[in-house]
Structure 1
């Protein structure tokens, strides 16, 4: 098995190279009685960190070493045959849409025994990102950090940094979960048996299966007293939004999804699937161990408590040489820890829609595009529906996402795809921007488009939160509201004072308080609006881009759409064109 390889050239024009090898391993990350088969990157959970500098040219080879299956193990396209793709989450891929890693949009999925080479330059981005699988529910265990260091050094000063990845682990096979979500038995998304911090936790603290050779106990984050650390917190969870905190420590937010922010101190983070934060941690407490904890946020009728725990371990301040040596030793040969300190982080019982988002400010000021008029507004209304076969699907404006039969990018390369005509026909407004022939939402180059992300529910039933992710773009959340968005009433609302540029926006549950399910105008079975967010995209990046809920089961069940942006300007590599 080939290990990860990193090679750096003498200039930004020489590629930084990595190899990601996808394998199937049996793991027990939560020291439980359940040993499950999992798809891993380089036999690690999380996968190895990719670290580059702003402006670097990157070449990443993904090799699929999964066993070939003659018959699908599930009814998930690609996943049942052990096909794979890797998406670099938050990387905008300017001029390199073929490296975005979305099956049947930008490439064929990689079958067992094959490989795919991603080549791209990191353009005008720095911060905390990650990579993950984009087939079925493989992302549960196929993910790893992607860190871009600033070309001229960070704007905030700190002594060192640590990466913390949050994920979930179910005591059931991935294929079984996929079949459940897409089958007639589906009712609700089950909570994961464990929340993992850097791929580890203890499922049952009263009876850890520490005798198992695969049990690694809690993750231990080693720090020195009297220093300042940058913690890069990655929301690699599959389903649940998680609270994250450290006992007796505040966290100072300095980055969200790659956007530097003015420092803002919080007692805990609220991390939706796909979101990333950088926070400064000042190690000013007495020498001790401190519990790093999580809890479930925006969860109806389930325990908010979580077994996602780790340990922050203080050491005496040492010289740089000795500290570096001790850090390596602690990471590689540290004793297995199966007991937590008595101190615990505290999370508020009550949840507040929008959390502290309206208080955050971009470090370098709000982008002027926020203040310009939009070219148009497109409402994205999400509903879930029971199908005739008893299964459940998510729909966007009455369309449930189905993968194209061939990659759209390849159709463009072969010139077998007709260009969008929606703008010349004047039908954009009446169709809400959707081209039913292409199955996409066409965008003109450099237009400003506001997307209203509309959540719905049946009155009296819970309203779900949805973390919406945009590929190829960061966006600005410029407004939010309760109930159902109405353009005439709500179109002028701008209640986010200093919009951040980010690539994930959590649409919080905000039912209309005046909603009356007994009224004559609304049937109790009709889905009504229960909260919306308006995000703004500047269409400055020609490509075929996914836009979807980053709750992976929701995406699997159809909560995804395609932005077809200035297709005549897309840069298509010669390898994709007919020879």
Structure 2
């Protein structure tokens, strides 16, 4: 270990937590308490703070009846795919009573990320911030904030989310929607029984605050705004962007956004709501409620006796639930900083071209279930290039590394749709998908261009796609069907935003480029958890390079077994 490398040790203990009680409304309008699965007894889970260049050793001990795995969302995991975390992809899950040490080094990254469970729907309560500070002595490329505040959005169910997804997969229908959204685990005063369960951000006048926004919600993109205050966006997915001001941001599940909030120069005789509610494009059900936190100015000494209850409360105006115009304009404002210190290394040439269709479909009823609740008596499914991904019962990375992949997966995922059609036009009559465990195999250092096209099968919808193991550049996006002859001429190859999660526009397409310089097996999936459960996922195998530092490291001795 070099002298300038810090080694951080963290212990995460996953346990049932009867202390994690949140009072919410339900159909009987009664307050609700329940036991939830948490990490170290905290909800949300503990904040992990590291620096660029740090090595992290994080021991996860499983004390619940569920199998568990933890994903360090957005960490590149260079040659350390064994620590990436998605169950049955890079590891078998940690079984009850067992533990696993996630060992990885943060290389060339700084900013806001997060960690969460990556098996079934356990990430509904198992998540927390992962904050990477710059190396010592390296300043932010923006105003140094007076204070930094993580704000993590989540979803809350009065019922057990594991039971909800289990029932949905058995019946083939859509799952029950959440009962509330939360800010830092709290639903806020707009829900019954939760007036006191609100996140409060207390600020001083004329100061700059860095809000580290994280969307850990399972199934909804969110609009967020602070009443009577402007937000300056300075980072997305732990990559600096060209700063711009906005009253509202849009943040999809799996995305993070850092914003600077400049408080008012004088103490205002008011308090201000910070609110979030969903951006909705699909036909499915959703929770159309609003979560609220409170921005409260610290009273100067002469008004110490002034209670906030007597102060007027201002509320922000959020876009309409289906405001795709705002979503598009907001996305177009995001550009890489692209300075000498923080360049945008966009692949200028492409070795491998892929075109993936993204969307919903159906599966036939299983023989033992002839009362399916999906469309026309079928079961809901989701797919990429009409393949609904079937999860194996052993880890893909282990089978790849050991050379024993036969019977586990096949390396023939199609580079283009097998049957082309009018993707955003009148949907075809046949909505059935195929099922399989297929992966794409890439030579080391391949320069990849991937166009992801939304489809109108069962309705057009926005899909936030997350790629493990890599950042990518969003070089283009548009509506309608992607035109291979015209659209690439408009690609931004100078300063496109660099992300790990991007929304495929409803009724449109998005184009990304990345360099396949990280050997291993890497998951890609929709970060709407219900779509992942239905099969909207696939994987990439990046082969070893020729040099020793271009090869996947061997698995650790304590790697969990299936």
TM-score normalized with structure 1 length: 0.80
Q: Secondary structure at the match of 2:557?
A: helix
Deviates more, 1:255-264 or 1:150-159: 150-159
Matches within 5 A, 1:105-254: 105-151=89-135, 152-156=138-142, 157-187=144-174, 190-202=176-188, 205=191, 207-208=192-193, 217-254=197-234
- Equivalent residue for 1:53, pick from 44, 51, 54: 51
Aligned residue pair count: 506
Structure-2 residue corresponding to 1:381 = 357
Q: Secondary structure at the match of 2:346?
A: helix
CA gap 1:422/1:129 in 2 versus in 1, 3 angstroms: closer
Please state how far the C-alpha of 1:64 moved relative to its aligned partner: 0.7
Structure-2 residue corresponding to 1:314 = 297
Structure-1 residue corresponding to 2:427 = none
Matches within 5 A, 1:400-439: 400-417=388-405, 439=438
Matches within 5 A, 1:27-106: 27-32=20-25, 33-67=31-65, 82-106=66-90
CA gap 1:431/1:339 in 2 versus in 1, 3 angstroms: farther
Q: Secondary structure at the match of 2:400?
A: helix
Q: Supply the distance in 2 between the matched residues of 1:564 and 1:85 (Cα, whole angstroms).
A: 21
Q: Verify the 8 A CA contact 2:177 2:287 in the aligned structure 1.
A: no
Please state how far the C-alpha of 1:305 moved relative to its aligned partner: 5.4
1:343 pairs with 2:317: no
Unpaired runs of at least 5, structure 2: 26-30, 302-306, 366-377, 420-434, 546-550
**Alpha-carbon displacement from aligned partner over 1:408-438 (angstroms, at most 9, x marks no partner):** 2222343323799979xxx968989xxx997
Q: Supply the distance in 2 between the matched residues of 1:209 and 1:147 (Cα, whole angstroms).
A: 29
Q: Secondary structure at the match of 1:183?
A: helix
CA gap 1:232/1:258 in 2 versus in 1, 3 angstroms: same
Please state how far the C-alpha of 1:383 moved relative to its aligned partner: 3.2
Q: Supply the distance in 1 between the matched residues of 2:556 and 2:11 (Cα, whole angstroms).
A: 23
TM-score normalized with structure 2 length: 0.82
- Equivalent residue for 1:363, pick from 337, 360, 378: 337
Structure-1 residue corresponding to 2:539 = 562
Q: Secondary structure at the match of 1:545?
A: strand
Deviates more, 1:403-412 or 1:537-546: 403-412
Please state how far the C-alpha of 1:146 moved relative to its aligned partner: 0.2
Q: Supply the distance in 2 between the matched residues of 1:532 and 1:408 (Cα, whole angstroms).
A: 29
Q: Verify the 8 A CA contact 1:24 1:40 in the aligned structure 2.
A: yes
Please state how far the C-alpha of 1:439 moved relative to its aligned partner: 2.0
Q: Supply the distance in 1 between the matched residues of 2:71 and 2:183 (Cα, whole angstroms).
A: 21
**Alpha-carbon displacement from aligned partner over 1:372-429 (angstroms, at most 9, x marks no partner):** 1211221111232222213211111121112222112222343323799979xxx968
Deviates more, 1:391-400 or 1:488-497: 488-497
- Equivalent residue for 1:552, pick from 502, 510, 529: 529
Structure-2 residue corresponding to 1:454 = 453
CA gap 1:403/1:430 in 2 versus in 1, 3 angstroms: closer
Structure-2 residue corresponding to 1:326 = none
Over the aligned positions, Cα root-mean-square deviation in angstroms equals 3.2
Q: Secondary structure at the match of 1:168?
A: strand
Q: Secondary structure at the match of 2:162?
A: helix
Q: Supply the distance in 2 between the matched residues of 1:340 and 1:84 (Cα, whole angstroms).
A: 46
